Amino acid sequence: MMKAGIIRCQQTEDMCPGSTDFKIAQEGKCAFAETGPVEIIGFVSCGGCPGKKAVTRAKMMVERGAQIIAFASCIKNGNPIGFPCPHFEKMREAVVKKLGAEVKVIEWTH
């Protein structure tokens, strides 16, 4: 079973416990359909706008065994507040650049 770390939007922490992220990861559904079930080894926020802490937090999770870094749907799709992160593209690019090709980056969860 592969190991994944999830980065979520700090703005949604008080409205979403992340239970759907954990469920679909465990079941290998939605964004995890390609990888199959994964073990979540970290669930952290981006650190708040503009998401600068996402890079160091992603690296930290990889150092602790994550083979996949997934951005929770609250960042890319705006769930549950209906407002996608305006910093998502730059945040994703910075994470990909820092981690390199050996770590799979998933842009959404459910």
Q: Which helix (DSSP H) or strand (DSSP E) does residue 70 occupy?
A: strand 68-71
Residues 6+ apart with CB under 8 A from 53: 45, 46, 47
Query: Could you report the per-residue pLDDT of 8-41, keeping only the tens digit for each?
Result: 999 998 899 999 999 999 999 999 999 999 999 9
Please provide the average confidence, as pLDDT, over all residues in the chain: 95
95 phi/psi in degrees, rounded to 5 = -65, -45
pLDDT for the residue numbered 84:
94
Q: Return the axis-axis angle of helices 53-63 and 88-99, rounded to nearest 10°.
A: 40
- Residue with the larger pLDDT of the pair 82 and 108: 108
Domain 2-106 has CATH 3.30.1490: no
Give me the residue spans of the domains in the chain: 2-106
